[in-house]
Amino acid sequence: MKRLSGWDAFLLYSETPNVHMHTLKIAVIDLAGLGDRTFGINEFRRVLRERLYKLEPFGYQLVDIPFKFHHPMWREHAEVDLEYHVRPWRVAAPGGRRELDEAIGEIASTPLDRSRPLWEMYLVEGLAKGRVAVVGKIHHALADGVASANLLALGMDITEGPQRDNDLYVTDPAPSRGQLVRSAFADHLRQIARFPGVVKYTADGMARVRKSSRKLSPELTRPFTPPPSFMNHVITPQRRFATATLALADVKETSKKLGVTINDLVLAMSSGALRELLLKYDGKADHPLLASVPMSYDFSPDRISGNRFSGVLIALPVDVDDAAQRVQQAREAALLAKESHQLVGPELVARWAAYMPPAPMESMFRRLSNKDGQNKVLNLNISNVPGPREVGKVGGATVTEIYSVGPLTAGSGLNITVWSYVDQLNISVLADGSTTDDPHEVTAGMVDDFKQIRRAAGLSEELTVVETAMAQ
């Protein structure tokens, strides 16, 4: 048994009937190299069964504390019914990118069952060129982007040679009410002992802000007030999904030419796409949007569970028409946000989250999810996560693409997540049922803006075709 951290619990409490807090991980798999062997739902369940012992979070079952006296706990080795958790799915013909995206949207539209370990896997068949896709649906309380990437690597054969898999998965007994209450009481005492350290951490951060040369800068002192936009409303339970792929070499070439990071380019491309959508849906794009961008403070390659990140608010220059200028402003906004983040302390929110009372927090999020729709903190979430650099395999079949996307938050109907994999930069967009006519407007807009950025940088607008990826 182990307790959810305050930050893990926060991601659990923020879930409501229309705000689902699961993340999605999608791997497209080419079966051509299997020869006469098959890879269907039974083979996939067998692969997972053999690896379940090292995919530890897949055995975590949520256990509430009586009277919500404390944050819930994880029963670490619960029973796992692979017939339930691992499910077949078939897309409609012709089985291209659009059909897969539509299926993923449907899969994302339902919440996870909290009476079971908080994950589901879908083997999606019917894709063109003899491919299948594995769609993982994992609650954010289980893992952040870094932990998910590490977990994904464990589920794949990243290295050559035989895999030492086994089916020795041993379950733990369920805890008694008395054990839960005693554990909660003891942990509360430990939290009280840690409280002076939290106060000191906070005070040290405030002192750094006061001493900073930018302490009077508007970027550090102004209240963040995200402007109303087409994406900010009471979101629906329905989810819609879209993807696009760029060649990582093209992105690296562009970032080097402009002297910016890949993350800066992702922010700039997002800004350009959102600018066009603001003009379409709102008739104006005259104010920067506020994006929450997660920044991890634990990149351990062995970490496969938990959340060790905080959200950094970055002003997206959607009000800037010139592509080159947007890139530089995105870069400057990211640098200012990172500076503020380090000054205040990257673990500030996570440390205070440990003291959040469960029942009032759940009640607050239920109210917020159906209030007036306008998120008072941010417009949308944008993530950029480095994924595996080596080609992975599942059951001997080659993983050709990986996509990932985080959840929508209350009052924000759009999430943009970018994952790199080998030679690809893969864009994923999650929207609710009423934010856009088609979420592919966002992915197409990002690709078009990338072309504009390359033209502004003096580079060819002709993008490299990623042969291993699904056709756009």
Tens digits of residue pLDDT in 194-242: 999 999 999 998 888 888 765 444 444 344 578 999 999 999 999 999 9
Using 50, 70 and 90 to split pLDDT, how confident is the model at 158? low
Average pLDDT over residues 371-393: 85
Helix, strand, coil tally for the chain in percent (to 5):
40, 20, 40
Largest CA distance in the chain: 68
Burial per residue of 47-58, b for 16 or more beta-carbon CB atoms within 10 angstroms, e otherwise = bbbbbbbebbbb
Using 50, 70 and 90 to split pLDDT, how confident is the model at 164? low
Q: How far apart are the first and last CA of the chain?
A: 45
CA–CA gap between residue 87 and residue 20 (Å, rounded): 20
Find the Cα–Cα–Cα–Cα dihedral 454, 455, 460, 464, rounded to 10°. 40
Burial per residue of 375-387, b for 16 or more beta-carbon CB atoms within 10 angstroms, e otherwise = beebbbbbbbbeb
What tokens were used for 342? 């380090």
Domains, the chain, in order of start with CATH, read 214-386+410-456 (3.30.559.30)
Q: Give residue 146's pLDDT.
A: 86
Average pLDDT over residues 243-272: 98
Over 70: is that where the pLDDT of 417 sits?
yes
Average pLDDT over residues 332-354: 89
Beta carbons within 8 Å of 172's beta carbon, 6+ residues apart: 1, 75, 76, 77, 78
Cβ atoms 379, 136 nearer than 8 A = no
DSSP secondary-structure letter at 15? -
**Over the chain, what is the mean pLDDT?**
91
Average pLDDT over residues 294-321: 91
More confident residue, 344 or 230: 230
Q: Give residue 165's pLDDT.
A: 55
160: left (phi > 0), else alpha (psi -120 to 50), else beta?
A: beta
Q: Give residue 372's pLDDT.
A: 67
CA–CA gap between residue 296 and residue 309 (Å, rounded): 4
DSSP secondary-structure letter at 182? H
Q: Give residue 135's pLDDT.
A: 96
Q: Which of 20, 85, 139, 140 is catalytic?
A: 140
Using 50, 70 and 90 to split pLDDT, how confident is the model at 112? very high
Over 90: is that where the pLDDT of 151 sits?
no
Strand residues in 141-256 grouped as ranges (E): 239-247
Cα 411 to its chain centre, rounded Å, is 17
Beta carbons within 8 Å of 400's beta carbon, 6+ residues apart: 28, 29, 30, 131, 468, 469
Over 90: is that where the pLDDT of 403 sits?
yes
Angle of CA points 208, 213, 214, to nearest 5°? 90
CA–CA gap between residue 154 and residue 77 (Å, rounded): 18
Q: Give residue 221's pLDDT.
A: 39
Neighbours of 37 (CB within 10 A): 11
CA–CA gap between residue 299 and residue 177 (Å, rounded): 36
140 is annotated as an active-site residue: yes
Q: How many CA atoms lie within 13 A of 436 on its CB side?
A: 26
- At residue 156, the 3 state secondary structure works out as coil
Average pLDDT over residues 324-350: 91
Using 50, 70 and 90 to split pLDDT, how confident is the model at 243? very high
**Element holding 454 (H helix, E strand):** helix 440-456
Average pLDDT over residues 100-128: 97
Closest C-alpha to 355, from 190, 207, 201: 190
